[in-house]
Amino acid sequence: MALTEETINSISSNYYSFVNRFSRSKYEDEKMLGKFYTNQFVCSSLSASVVLALKQVHKKQICIIDPFCGDGRLVVSLMEEISKDSQLRSLSFSLFLWDIDNEAVTQAQANVSTFVGRAGLKASIIAEMHDAFSFARSFYGRFDVCITNPPWALLKPQKIFSDVSSEEIENYKRVISKYDEFMKQEFSTSLPEKKFGKWGTNLSRCGTELSIKLLCDGGICGLVSPATFLNDQVSRPLRQWMFSLCDIRRVDYYPSELKLFGKADVESVTVLFLKGSPQRRVLIVRHLETTPNSETIEGKDFDFVEKQGFVLPLSEDSRTLHVLERLNRLPSLSDYCVANSLKVTREIDETNISEKLAPTGTIRFVKGYMIGRYSFTTQELFLKADEKDAPKSVHFPKIVWRDVSRRSQQRRVQATYLPKNCIAGNSLGVVASNSGQGPALYSLLGFLGSLVFEYQARVLLTSNHVPAGVIRKVKIPFLDVNNRLASLVAQRLGSTNCEYELDAYVAKLYGLDFDCYSLIVSSFGFNSMEEQQYLSAFRTESKKEKQ
């Protein structure tokens, strides 16, 4: 049932009054409201792109909004760029600044009015405290420009301290549920494709959807967002909607190493787009080194991007798309598992795990930090004899990989083989067998541990985790067990370090040529000696193939 404006207002004010009451520190407040203010360089660069697009708009009066304005820095920097342009600076501007944080709104009003006064621009300013999500409805379709950085936060219950009564906690749960229901109804395109657990409405995605709704036809948006929006699985519907409705002109990618958001280890993007007239081309500017590199994705590359759910090559260039397109015809790890009676799974939840463990026993407990590439260590930790949670798979060997892996790690897929009588905590992904299946597991580990496998996975890994959903999708060359591969893996697990031979052999199984393989090897940032070892092993394999 459609909600009335009155109901929406009360849902919103009930929710935000709890947020205010429960926030005990600046840190908590920032976390709840997703306050990651935009870096000044990014503000200026995005504003310059918006101004270029604005020069094509032939209107005398321009309506501009930042619905999540913070201290108003994006609008200030946009007006700065406008003031440098003789054609634009003579126009009249209506500037709207909204934020849920009243102090920020006051600051934004002061900052923007000081700048426009000093620059002598004709501008009216309306700076008001609002919940943009619930307030914006009557403003849909009204703005020529939206420049914004929506809150970087998920909607979920806040940590509550012990001096709050249970009645109040119950009230809070009801109120946040109602607000979540409203958000899902109003911003349905931003809902994750697959949902994990009750909470998870992403305010940055909803803010992106809101920005598009606020624009008039032909309106220009300059958006700041976590980069995951352009390459994660869950935002696919939002990307599809956006690419089908808008002309996505330019994406600037900023890797986490630039530390643009204080200590937070996040990759970010800015996106410049126009509402209406979608074009099948997008300029990507990667700020990877001192000089950014730019590339236009169009034609067949754009077709491939579309087929993949508009996952853009942000950190890698379009040569990656060509390699991925070649590999895309192959079966996936998931297909391999089905063909060989293996199962991607988890074995035991690590919450309160110490209660389930003992210093002696028959089933050894293994968790993330104990796992390396082709190796593992153990501790005297065993599943208690009476523990009922053990799945059948503990009685058989398995492949495991570490769930947590930093984006900065050179090798992100840390996988190995575990013999029977081990149980893996949920900090490990598992490919379990229901009988021996040794060769099938060894063969699979050969793929999982290879550069080609990891190269594919990296495009899909958007956080500091290696989820099973990504691992399942990665392509492998065929479904049969390969005996030479299985035997190389057995050697690698033992004392013989045949890393380079193994990797080159896998690359050959994938059907790669030298150029493709060297592109993959060079993307890992090895030192030149190591790089040469991979490449020379590949040359040796090529010779063997010809004999």
Ligand X SMILES: C[S@@+](CC[C@H](N)C(=O)[O-])C[C@H]1O[C@@H](n2cnc3c(N)ncnc32)[C@H](O)[C@@H]1O
Whole-number minimum distance, CB 505 to ligand X, in Å?
A: 48
Q: x/- binding map, residues 380-419, to ligand X, per CB under 6 A?
A: ----------------------------------------
Rg (CA), the chain: 27
**Considering the rule CB under 6 A, would residue 98 count as an interface residue with ligand X?**
yes
Whole-number minimum distance, CB 47 to ligand X, in Å?
A: 11
Which residues are CB-neighbours of 423 under 8 A, at least 6 positions away?
347, 348, 363, 364, 365, 366, 383, 390, 394
- Token pair 């059907």 is found at 511
Q: Residue 151 or residue 368: which is nearer to ligand X going by CB? A: 151
Give Dmax over CA atoms of the chain in angstroms: 80
Residues in region 151-170 near ligand X by CB under 6 A: 151-152
**Considering the rule CB under 6 A, would residue 512 count as an interface residue with ligand X?**
no
Whole-number minimum distance, CB 29 to ligand X, in Å?
A: 8
Q: Residue 66 or residue 403: which is nearer to ligand X going by CB? A: 66
Q: Residue 123 or residue 383: which is nearer to ligand X going by CB? A: 123
Strand order in the sheet with 143-148: 122-129, 92-99, 61-66, 143-148, 215-226, 268-275, 246-254, 281-286, 293-298
Question: Measured at the alpha carbon of residue 134, what is the angle toward residues 131 and 135, in degrees to the nearest 5?
Answer: 75
Return the range that interacts with ligand X (CB under 6 A); candidates 62-70, 276-284, 323-331, 373-381.
62-70
Q: Residue 214 or residue 537: which is nearer to ligand X going by CB? A: 214
Figure out which of the listed residues 80, 131, 232, 267 binds ligand X, where binding follows CB under 6 A. Answer: 131
**Considering the rule CB under 6 A, would residue 100 count as an interface residue with ligand X?**
yes
Return the range that interacts with ligand X (CB under 6 A); candidates 81-89, 99-107, 164-172, 505-513.
99-107
Figure out which of the listed residues 3, 28, 31, 37 binds ligand X, where binding follows CB under 6 A. Answer: 37
312: left (phi over 0), alpha (psi -120 to 50) or beta: beta
Neighbours of 40 (CB within 10 A): 12
Whole-number minimum distance, CB 115 to ligand X, in Å?
A: 15
Whole-number minimum distance, CB 345 to ligand X, in Å?
A: 37
Supply 450's token pair.
């290879």
Whole-number minimum distance, CB 139 to ligand X, in Å?
A: 13
**Each residue of 368-389: b (16+ CB within 10 Å) or e?**
bebbebbebeeeebbbbeebee
Whole-number minimum distance, CB 134 to ligand X, in Å?
A: 8
Figure out which of the listed residues 46, 105, 112, 132 binds ligand X, where binding follows CB under 6 A. Answer: 132
**Considering the rule CB under 6 A, would residue 79 count as an interface residue with ligand X?**
no
Figure out which of the listed residues 18, 66, 437, 508 binds ligand X, where binding follows CB under 6 A. Answer: 66
Q: x/- binding map, residues 345-384, to ligand X, per CB under 6 A?
A: ----------------------------------------
Q: What's the rounded Cα separation, in Å, for the pair 182 and 310? A: 27
Q: What's the rounded Cα separation, in Å, for the pair 307 and 310? A: 7
Q: What's the rounded Cα separation, in Å, for the pair 31 and 215? A: 28
Neighbours of 200 (CB within 10 A): 14
**What are the percentages of helix, strand and coil residues in the chain, rounded to 5?**
45, 20, 35
Whole-number minimum distance, CB 238 to ligand X, in Å?
A: 17
Residues in region 173-232 near ligand X by CB under 6 A: 224
Q: Residue 210 or residue 512: which is nearer to ligand X going by CB? A: 210
Return the range that interacts with ligand X (CB under 6 A); candidates 52-60, 84-92, 129-137, 349-357.
129-137
**Considering the rule CB under 6 A, would residue 33 count as an interface residue with ligand X?**
yes
Figure out which of the listed residues 8, 51, 54, 104 binds ligand X, where binding follows CB under 6 A. Answer: 104
- Token pair 């809902």 is found at 191
Contact 128, 70 (CB under 8 A): no
Beta strands in 227-292 (DSSP E): 246-254, 268-275, 281-286
Q: Residue 187 or residue 365: which is nearer to ligand X going by CB? A: 187
Whole-number minimum distance, CB 69 to ligand X, in Å?
A: 5
Return the range that interacts with ligand X (CB under 6 A); candidates 128-136, 240-248, 263-271, 397-405.
128-136
Return the range that interacts with ligand X (CB under 6 A); candidates 28-36, 115-123, 323-331, 476-484.
28-36
Contact 297, 312 (CB under 8 A): yes
Neighbours of 226 (CB within 10 A): 23
Taken in order 476, 478, 479, 484, the sign of the CA dihedral is: negative
Tell me the three state secondary structure of residue 348: strand
- Token pair 């708009």 is found at 57
Helices assigned H by DSSP within 187-235: 203-214
**Considering the rule CB under 6 A, would residue 68 count as an interface residue with ligand X?**
yes
**Considering the rule CB under 6 A, would residue 73 count as an interface residue with ligand X?**
yes
Supply 131's token pair.
């919940």
Q: What's the rounded Cα separation, in Å, for the pair 85 and 72? A: 21
Neighbours of 298 (CB within 10 A): 15
Q: Total number of residues binding ligand X (CB under 6 A)?
A: 25
Q: Residue 31 or residue 319: which is nearer to ligand X going by CB? A: 31
Figure out which of the listed residues 74, 76, 234, 451 binds ligand X, where binding follows CB under 6 A. Answer: 74
Residue ranges that bind ligand X, judged by CB under 6 A = 33-38, 66, 68-70, 73-74, 98-101, 104, 131-133, 148-149, 151-152, 224
